[in-house]
Amino acid sequence: MKMLINVPETVVADALRGMAAAHPELAVDVENRVIVRRDAPLVGKVGLVSGGGSGHEPLHGGFVGPGMLSAACPGEVFTSPVPDQMVRAAAAVDSGAGVLFVVKNYTGDVLNFDMAAELAEDEGIQVAKVLVDDDVAVTDSLYTAGRRGTGATLFVEKIAGAAAEEGQPLERVEALARQVNENSRSFGVALTAVTTPAKGSPTFDLPAGELELGIGIHGEPGRERRPMMTSGEIAEAAVDAILADITPRNPVLVLVNGMGATPLLELYGFNAEVQRVLGERGVPVARVLVGNYVTSLDMAGASVTLCQVDEETLRLWDAPVRTPGLRWGM
């Protein structure tokens, strides 16, 4: 497989050096693998810290900035960051108002963020944690006890980040993050397998003419493998899987997310089908975001995330944000 890299061993470090050059508003510590808002800590502001394996960009480092994360900790490709990174990030952004860890539900992330929270609290930093587990496709997968954390991570980080930017206290920021997670559900589909730099070839076999419904963002198996379907059929399968698990009472945010190798031409067409299905199912839509946000390296495919919102969470979603991967209103 052809990749735009030097050697697999330096992929993450090389990417961080490039990110630092492109975004001087961020303090990128290549050696210690921590990305921080350059203006952190801000007096009276709750710090938001997240992280996970690299390969899902712009998640998480691309969401560091005003209105979203205060810091992010990138691990090796598809590998959790270590507690030392998380403690370093928490210390860098703590202003005395506390720090919220946003943790996707993957076993390594959960264990390491738990350990980091204990270490940070030993250093006098108040820490709260929110677990993101929005994927309805499978339970207890290859990397996970319980449901996987996927596209809703973006909603949690944006809405909680906006609340923190306003100076809301840690207890309220944590409560909002939990509310967003509880009101979010996701379902993804893979059209091709993912290729990691270390392996250099597809990590699983997905024959031509077939797709995987309910895939995870590391290439974990989904619910079932089927012959290739049309965009409309995939939209119906994804939306119906979500609505079988939750019945929105309020309008929803919609994320139509590319897995890394699906062009916007296809994603916008897929979004048209998602909107059709939501309309047929009587689900009102408040806002729509389309693009590659929670990716899986070079996997072709897409995921759909719905999050029902109220007046407050919609206001926080609309609030200004300025990060490498998401920006509006500034």
Q: Which residues are catalytic?
A: 56, 218
Annotate 247-291 with three-state secondary structure. CCCCCEEEEEEECECCCHHHHHHHHHHHHHHHHHCCCCEEEEEEE
Could you say which DSSP state residue 142 is in? T
Long-range pairs of 239-243 with CB within 8 A, sequence gap ≥ 24? 239/187, 239/274, 239/277, 239/278, 239/281, 239/304, 239/306, 240/277, 240/281, 241/136, 241/137, 241/187, 241/214, 242/136, 242/185, 242/186, 242/187, 242/304, 242/306, 243/281, 243/283
Name the residue among 141, 132, 140, 139 with its Cα closest to residue 109: 132
